[in-house]
Amino acid sequence: MNIKKLFELQKQLDLRIEKEHPRKPGEDRLAKKILALMVELGELANEARFFKYWSHDQAPRTKIEYICPTCNGTGDENYDSYIDDLEGGYTHEVINCEDCGGTGTLGYKNPLLEEYVDCLHFILSIGNDINMNEVYEDYEPKPLYFGDGDILGQFIAIYDWINSLYFHRHEDVNGEMYDLVFAYFLGLGEILGFTWEEIEEAYLRKNAVNHQRQNSGY
């Protein structure tokens, strides 16, 4: 786990965001980051689906096709002229889309992993704000588990410690609470079946996307 590198990458992204979106007078951005982490954790649970007792579909969303935007998934570069050709009595000539090679897709994404690294972005950002990045130069957080690895309890435990972190965010104990948030979050990643290598690779991909969003005035 090269967590020091991720803290530094997150710091660079946060500096860009601070420049593009300056803090307002009296703004408690740390509080907003904590709430954003809660929101992202909820989105992660939504993709995990394990708690949806009202649905027969409780399988986690780990593989979804990227639909090619050029051909809208048809594989035909000229798909948008298909109806006009029919109405005009013309024969429609199918031309394979260059972007997807006529397959209609651009590969697959893992929504569950993507939501996990969205959470990680805010965890790292909060850690930078309260100087836990410096603490982790001496040691790395170890995964913690609720009970025997109950996924529902794991989510609730993380929410509980995030909640405590919010109410004590400006106190000396915030580092201890942050450490527990991170530890249970790492444990959750293992419960969900992720390796650290997968997490780091996904983080780097999303980090690049977030920089691009700043470039485009997101």
Gyration radius of the chain's alpha carbons = 22
- pLDDT per position as a tens digit, 98-155: 888 888 777 789 999 999 999 999 999 999 999 999 999 998 899 999 988 899 999 9
- pLDDT per position as a tens digit, 5-17: 999 999 999 999 9
Alpha helices, DSSP H, located in 21-57? 29-48
Residues 174-185, mean pLDDT to the nearest whole number: 97
d(CA 64, CA 108): 5
d(CA 126, CA 216): 25
Matching residue, tokens 């951005």 = 29
What confidence score (pLDDT) does residue 70 get? 79
What confidence score (pLDDT) does residue 2 get? 84
* Nearest C-alpha neighbor of 95 from the set 115, 124, 112, 74: 74
**Residue 32 β-bridge partners:** none
- pLDDT per position as a tens digit, 68-114: 887 877 888 777 765 566 566 676 777 888 888 888 777 789 999 99
Residues 164-172, mean pLDDT to the nearest whole number: 97
What confidence score (pLDDT) does residue 98 get? 82
Which residue spans within 52-130 are E strands per DSSP? Answer: 64-67, 105-109
Token pair, residue 96, equals: 């394979």
* Nearest C-alpha neighbor of 168 from the set 157, 180, 183, 156: 180
Matching residue, tokens 């979050």 = 185
pTM, 2 dp: 0.84
d(CA 110, CA 47): 10
SS3 assignment, position 106: strand
Angle between the N-to-C axes of helices 111-129 and 196-215, in degrees from 0 to 180, rounded to the nearest 10: 80
Q: What is the mean pLDDT of the chain?
A: 91
What confidence score (pLDDT) does residue 78 get? 78
What confidence score (pLDDT) does residue 99 get? 80
Instruction: Choose which CATH entry (1.10.4010.10, 3.40.50.2300, 3.40.50.300, 2.40.50.1070) describes domain 3-62+110-215.
Output: 1.10.4010.10
Q: Residue 201: which residues within 8 A CB-CB, separation 6 or more?
A: none
What confidence score (pLDDT) does residue 105 get? 78
Q: Convert 169-194 into a string of H (helix), E (strand) and C (coil).
A: CCCCCHHHHHHHHHHHHHHHHHHCCC
What confidence score (pLDDT) does residue 73 get? 79
Token pair, residue 136, equals: 């982790």
pLDDT band at 217 (very low <50, low <70, confident <90, very high): confident
Judge contact between 29 and 122, C-beta under 8 A.
Answer: no
What confidence score (pLDDT) does residue 89 get? 66
- pLDDT per position as a tens digit, 181-216: 999 999 999 999 999 999 999 999 999 989 988 887
Q: Where in the chain are the domains? A: 3-62+110-215, 64-108
Q: Which residues of 193-211 are buried (b: 16+ CB within 10 A; e: fewer)?
A: ebeeeebbebbeebbeebe
Judge contact between 122 and 181, C-beta under 8 A.
Answer: no
